[in-house]
Amino acid sequence: MPSTTTASEVEAATLIASKREREERREREERMGVKVYGMPMSTNTVRVLAALNEKGVEFELVIVDLRTGAHKQPDFLARNPFGQIPVLEDGDVVLFESRGINRYIATKYAEAGPDLLLSGGTLAERAAVDLWLEVESQQFGPPIAALVYEALIKPMLGGATDAAVVEAQAAKLEKVLDVYEARLAQSKYLAGAEFTLADLNHIPYTNYLMKTPKASLVTSRPHLLAWWQDVSSRAAWKKTAAGIPF
């Protein structure tokens, strides 16, 4: 007997099933909620919390205490094989690398809060966001992370700040910040007229820099300072900063 189901009926049934799967997955994600595994003083964890707060997304922060080596335990390595925080869990989705997580948050919740990736914009506008995201990752991130570690984190862990390292990293960061000063003289935010993920990804480390004597790197550059005062006065950032224990 020939089959009574045609190829197009099978295709239609498959499309309906995958649409239903997606709906079920969304429902599961909403029920389970978003979890972030990290520590409240970790800049990379804060980077993700800042994005969630901009989008008004409720989340649970699950502490992974680096001081006890929790990040090297098998249950954590199953989530991030590189053994680093943060990790984001959203239903079945498990992500690591804070900058990648933030792209996911900006995309999933594009309709809520600011359009952090300018997903509704032109190719040129979206490229400007990607450009300054890469500048943060490649140019700004390495020297500021090394400087903040030496000046702020090391003493907290019982070590002694090496002033020569601070000076060397500050010298590198100064050259980078000259480029930012020139950019922000032409543009209110890094990617253009609107606040985007490119600005947000800079906030956690800059926040820590401002607690060191090297805050002068920002305060001595008028447009950079104005930008910092603007982005750090956002309600979502104030909420995020309130959760940082120092």
Binding site for other proteins (CB under 8 A): 81-82, 93, 95-97, 99-100, 103-104, 107-108, 123-124, 126-127, 130-131, 133-135, 137-139, 176, 179, 182-183
- Smaller CB separation from other proteins, 96 or 228: 96
* Helix or strand (DSSP H, E) at 235: helix 235-242
Token pair for 27: 């429902």
- Smaller CB separation from other proteins, 176 or 236: 176
Shortest reach from residue 142's CB to other proteins, in Å? 9
Shortest reach from residue 29's CB to other proteins, in Å? 11
Shortest reach from residue 73's CB to other proteins, in Å? 16
- Smaller CB separation from other proteins, 13 or 179: 179
Scanning 72-221, the segments in alpha helix (DSSP H) are: 74-77, 98-108, 123-135, 141-148, 154-156, 163-184, 197-200, 203-209, 216-219
Shortest reach from residue 107's CB to other proteins, in Å? 6
Burial 30-57 (b: 16+ CB within 10 A, else e): eeeebbbbbbebbbbbbbbbbbbbbbeb
- Smaller CB separation from other proteins, 65 or 134: 134
User: Which of 164, 61, 51 lies closest to 98, judged by CA?
Assistant: 51
Shortest reach from residue 124's CB to other proteins, in Å? 5
Bridge partners of 37?
62, 87
Token pair for 16: 């309906």
- Smaller CB separation from other proteins, 104 or 113: 104
CB atoms under 10 Å from CB of 147, counted, come to: 25
Token pair for 29: 């994600």
Amino acid residing at 99: R
- The residue length of the chain stands at 246
- Smaller CB separation from other proteins, 217 or 234: 217
Shortest reach from residue 99's CB to other proteins, in Å? 5
